[in-house]
Amino acid sequence: MSPRVWLVTGANSGLGLALVEHALAQGDQVIAAIRNPASIPDSIKAAKPLTLDLNASDSDIQRAGKAALDIYGRIDVLVNNAGYCLTGYVEEVQDADIKHEFQTNFFGAISLTQSLLPAFRSQRSGYILNLSSVAGIDGHPPFAMYNASKAALEAMTEALHTELLPFNVTALIIEPGYFPTNFWSSADASRIPPARLTGAYPETDSLFNTMPKKKLEEKQVGDRRKAVARIFELVSGTGHYAQQSVNTKFVRVVLGPDAGTRIRSKLKLILENVDGTEEVWRSTNMDEETLEKYARGEY
């Protein structure tokens, strides 16, 4: 099937830009959603631009989704890629900043997806790819709100995946590890201003200097061109995905050995947690007598 029509948010930078460049190079058609039309890079001039700010109102986002649909009459692959990382300890982050983070990473993606779901259902094909992060499963400080927004996106996508299976539409969670993009500089810029810092958590500042350096030392640095090639192969059933029979229950696309390793350790920890407390969680069911009362509506 070719050419596919992609709608990619956050198309002017990082993973989104690399994906648009790759899809165009493969002969697909792309609608590049960006919040500032002036920032569309020359390398994706062949894409159709769509102005979209995920912090706009729900109705504005839905209108943009419908406008995108009108461009080619269909969308085959929606990539909810745009996002950023709010940095700050739970005690210190401000309410408005938390809401902004969730609006961009979670609510905005939902509004856009909702505007396209009727079309996806009626065409009975397509992909919805939601960019989460390894942080959605294994989050660290001082990124609690970023972690939470991605965890929310993951939980929503898991249910969406099941909802859409009967319609032959595949909703997936894309879970990258560390890929150098503008992500870290924007995370740095989002840091709470010093005036709001309590000084109770002195570790924050060093992180931005040490993280990319640490990743380089560990040789755990992702190549965004390879990441987007894997995403393209997944959708087109080519390359690394050509011979794989992907279980339809698989909902996660893990990208990067750092992400895969961290997720494995986290799952091991969760399993140890559940196994280690089995006596506790097995102790909370109703006994026979209470169960009978419950059945009679007397509980």
Ligand X SMILES: NC(=O)c1ccc[n+]([C@@H]2O[C@H](COP(=O)([O-])OP(=O)(O)OC[C@H]3O[C@@H](n4cnc5c(N)ncnc54)[C@H](OP(=O)(O)O)[C@@H]3O)[C@@H](O)[C@H]2O)c1
- What are the catalytic residues? 132, 146, 150
Structure token pair of residue 271? 């399993």
Using CB under 6 A, which of 3, 41, 48, 55 touches ligand X?
55
What is Dmax (Cα atoms) for the chain? 72
Structure token pair of residue 13? 């930078």
State the minimum distance, in angstroms, from the CB of residue 8 to ligand X: 9
In contact, 191 and 88? CB cutoff 8 Å = yes
Structure token pair of residue 126? 């397509």
- Window 194 to 253, contacts with ligand X (CB under 6 A): none
Nearer to ligand X, 237 or 260 (CB): 260
Name the pairing type of β-strands 5-9 and 77-80. parallel
Nearer to ligand X, 121 or 266 (CB): 266
Using CB under 6 A, which of 2, 27, 36, 70 touches ligand X?
36
Nearer to ligand X, 117 or 134 (CB): 134
Nearer to ligand X, 9 or 115 (CB): 9
Residue 161: Cβ within 10 Å count: 21
Phi, psi of 4, rounded to the nearest 5 degrees = -80, 160
- Window 103 to 132, contacts with ligand X (CB under 6 A): 104, 131
Contact characters 61-90, ligand X, x per CB under 6 A: --------------------xxxx------
Structure token pair of residue 47? 């894409």
Structure token pair of residue 98? 């938390």
Structure token pair of residue 127? 């992909």
Residues at the site binding ligand X, with contacts judged by CB under 6 A: 9-10, 12-16, 35-36, 39, 52-55, 81-84, 104, 131, 133, 176, 178-179, 181-183, 186
